[in-house]
Structure 1
Amino acid sequence: MTAARAEIRDRSLAPQGQERIAWAAREMPVLRLIRERFARERPLEGVRIAVCAHVTTETANLAYTLRAGGATLALCASNPLSTQDDVAAALAEDGFAVFAIRGEDHETYYRHIRQVLDFQPQIVIDDGADLVTTLHRERRDLLPFVFGSTEETTTGVIRLKAMAKDDLLAFPAIAVNDADTKHFFDNRYGTGQSTIDAILRATNILLAGKTVVVAGYGWCGRGIAMRARGMGAHVIVTEVDPVRALEAVMDGYVVMPMRQAAPLGDLFITATGDIHVISREHFPLMKDGAILCNAGHFNVEIDLDGLAELATERRQVRPLIEEYRLGPDRAILVLAEGRLVNLAVAEGHPASVMDMSFANQALCCAYLAAHHGELEADVYPVPAEIDREVASLKLQSMGIGIDRLTPEQEAYLQSWQHGT
């Protein structure tokens, strides 16, 4: 069959998108260095890559890097509200197959995933594992030809590991999310800044003096809590993992169950990757005007169906803010339909952080192209040499040098003879 080439909102937005892509590129020096190398070495020559990711300026720079390496790409969105229509238009204008429209409904979202699969990919770049799971459910005829996949986010890695545990995963998958140069920086500093940025854009509230409840103290939750406290908020953390809860206490946060936090919070931010972290039982406990938003990948962390059943009235009070009235004197506000708030309301992570994440993606694609025949169907960490290379390139781009071990020091670290 002949695959469609693009489905976007408005191709006339391309010049604006091209300008913004170029602006992001200024903050992505590591990816630029990799692109220059790819252009010389062509490690992806003739490889078809399907990308299901947030269609943003940073993703566009990844697309150009992969194409410089010889790949042919087809892209779709990994979230209905994260697409930047001008970027989609710019990519389509420059010859990429793009299927992404901001605000697309559920049916369109999955149609776009299927259109990308029509390109018969050999490598899959996923953000949340929707592309991989659809491939396994609906296009099993393509599975023998897939070298492998790379996964960008925690939620997707969880799904891939569940597939592998059930012996359903048909090809190797690299957990890019778990690279040190990804989750230490992208998840913590990127999510921390971009989530707060989105909340302030949407609401224009003053964070100083507010009580912010952060659900989950993984790397994303750590970043959000850190940035909220830095702007003068009182931060409460909720957790189910005792080690992470203890870490939050040692970091100076108040830790308690969500049921205790519900009456106290002015702003609630979920970042767990799990379902109904804020559930029907919590809504009646919340104060009038409480604001709820989600920084996890899928729109399941807040029980919006339960909230809708409790509400006597619903209305939009600002762009991407919906008010749920629970009575004459109390309302709860939900940002961006409970979807990934930093991309639904703002522009997502700063390009300088995505520089490392997407450098990992590019290098892992080249690794899969070269080594896929050696790998079983399982979930793999990013090879340590790739993680170190990304860190070294980032330091180089920042003009920062570090020490190296002397032969004497290396020998000492490899020996057991030296004691007290």
Structure 2
Amino acid sequence: MTATYTQPKHEVKDLSLAPLGKQRIEWAGREMPVLRQIRDRFAAEKPLAGIRLVACCHVTTETANLAIALKAAGADAVLIASNPLSTQDDVAACLVAEYGIPVFAIKGEDAETYVRHVQVALDHRPNIIIDDGCDVVATLVKERQDQLSEIIGTTEETTTGIVRLRAMFKDGVLTFPAINVNDADTKHFFDNRYGTGQSTLDGIIRATNILLAGKNVVVAGYGWCGKGTALRARGLGANVIVTEIDPTKAIEAVMDGFRVMPMSEAAPQGDLFITVTGNKHVIRSEHFDVMKDGAIVCNSGHFDIEIDLKALGAKAKEVRTVRNFTEEYRLQNGKSVIVLGEGRLVNLAAAEGHPSAVMDMSFANQALGCEYLVKNKGKLEPGIHSIPVEVDKQIARLKLQAMGIYIDNLTPDQIEYMNSWTSGT
């Protein structure tokens, strides 16, 4: 029998979508066994009892399973969207109607609504913030100084967010601990590489229905997200070109079998461009000028600034929607450039985001990161802290066990050898 809840304050598209959302949340949960085990323990131990928590995340089926686990832990949680196009409206409705979790998120919400939802979240006066891009923390620090004393800490799971947190710490304005979920091995090795790689191409194909085999695909950035995207594109038969600013990553891309060149050289050659750098204006005015007619550009980095759409718009004599999440910019020079998902995360704008199996580990890190902050309240210095290695390894073990895979353990003799300096040749 389904539990009933008093509907909290919320702002979602349509509560009647809740039954569909419930089916999809449960389907995703089948692929999230690690988080399920954590949720079961949380339900018994209530490690977040009395904690006011705000989660600013992509409101997807996977995030819903995290939110349910946090509520099971006793948290008084509010969920808002971290991106205007990533919300799945049926999921948002279900969390309100079926689980009694306040959600403020509507797919396609405008910038004004998005900013207002950040303020609504901060009105909750959180003790812990789960952030995805650091918007809530940055707004707190800039506009809600009176609430800083109530913050136990934050967890952040994006490269973009960690960059912002490091800048905040350097400027002396990060006055509480931040858990770097993004750099946990069980996050970036899997979520960034396998999740972004698969879901980015899923979004592109759903939006365009193009054949990737034989296309020149330009991947801007060869971090973990870029590696996964390049690998998956090559697997579908694309000729992959990588652009980079880091010489070490560029060498790695070359040795992985990809062509490497500056964007200025790649721009006339590419059929499809994918940005995954976390920086701004990676594709800009001079690149649009030399692109092929009908070149497709999209972004899978966190913010919609990697493609300079303002410059592209200034060159366009007409902009028209040709498919869902697909806009054609007809330029003054007679050529056209196709933009997917308004330059926002194409894997969430045009598809469903990462597969549940990889988000299982990412959100396990988020859940355990929150527990770690509470257990160590007052003990952690302000600044950025890594997920403890033992927590990271435990998540990996749980995932392996759920997959029916077991590994060796060190023998006492091996442990002694690894901890000794006297043994040798």
Q: Give, in whole Å, the separation in 2 of the partners of 1:106 and 1:415.
A: 59
> Which secondary structure does the structure 1 equivalent of 2:376 belong to?
helix
**Residue number in structure 1 paired with 2:207:** 202
**Residue number in structure 2 paired with 1:131:** 136
> Which secondary structure does the structure 2 equivalent of 1:372 belong to?
coil
Q: Give, in whole Å, the separation in 1 of the partners of 2:83 and 2:154.
A: 18
Q: Deviations over 1:178-226 (max 9, x none)?
A: 0000000000000000000000000000000000000000000000000
Q: Deviations over 1:108-149 (max 9, x none)?
A: 001011111111111000000001001111111111011000
Q: Give, in whole Å, the separation in 2 of the partners of 1:350 and 1:63.
A: 17
The Cα of 1:328 is off from its aligned counterpart by 6.2
The Cα of 1:36 is off from its aligned counterpart by 0.8
Matched, 1:293 2:298: yes
Matched, 1:376 2:381: yes
**Residue number in structure 2 paired with 1:143:** 148
Q: Give, in whole Å, the separation in 1 of the partners of 2:124 and 2:169.
A: 25
**Residue number in structure 2 paired with 1:245:** 250
**Residue number in structure 1 paired with 2:42:** 38
Unaligned runs of 5+ in 1: none
Q: Give, in whole Å, the separation in 2 of the partners of 1:122 and 1:227.
A: 40
**Residue number in structure 1 paired with 2:287:** 282
Q: Give, in whole Å, the separation in 2 of the partners of 1:25 and 1:332.
A: 39
Paired residues for 1:333-352 under 5 Å: 333-352=338-357
> Which secondary structure does the structure 1 equivalent of 2:382 belong to?
coil
The Cα of 1:40 is off from its aligned counterpart by 1.4
Of the three residues 57, 65, 71, the one matched with 2:69 is 65
**Residue number in structure 2 paired with 1:234:** 239
Q: Deviations over 1:85-128 (max 9, x none)?
A: 01110011121111001101111001011111111111000000
Q: Given the two structures, how large is their TM-score scaled by the length of structure 2?
A: 0.97
Letter in structure 2 aligned against 1:67: K
The Cα of 1:378 is off from its aligned counterpart by 0.2
Of the three residues 245, 253, 259, the one matched with 1:254 is 259
**Residue number in structure 1 paired with 2:28:** 24
Q: Given the two structures, how large is their TM-score scaled by the length of structure 1?
A: 0.98
Q: Give, in whole Å, the separation in 2 of the partners of 1:149 and 1:190.
A: 23
Equivalent residues of 2:315, 2:332 under 8 A apart: no
The Cα of 1:42 is off from its aligned counterpart by 1.2
Q: Give, in whole Å, the separation in 2 of the partners of 1:408 and 1:167.
A: 48
Moved over 6 A (4+): none
> Which secondary structure does the structure 2 equivalent of 1:291 belong to?
strand
Q: Give, in whole Å, the separation in 2 of the partners of 1:302 and 1:118.
A: 33
Q: Give, in whole Å, the separation in 2 of the partners of 1:294 and 1:311.
A: 19
Equivalent residues of 2:54, 2:79 under 8 A apart: yes
> Which secondary structure does the structure 2 equivalent of 1:225 belong to?
helix
**Residue number in structure 1 paired with 2:269:** 264
Matched, 1:89 2:87: no
Worse-superposed segment, 188-197 or 134-143? 134-143
Letter in structure 2 aligned against 1:384: V
The Cα of 1:314 is off from its aligned counterpart by 1.2
Q: Give, in whole Å, the separation in 2 of the partners of 1:299 and 1:258.
A: 18
Of the three residues 166, 172, 180, the one matched with 1:167 is 172
Identity over aligned residues, as a percent? Answer: 65
Letter in structure 2 aligned against 1:31: L
Q: Give, in whole Å, the separation in 2 of the partners of 1:37 and 1:155.
A: 31
Paired residues, what number? 417
Worse-superposed segment, 381-390 or 245-254? 381-390
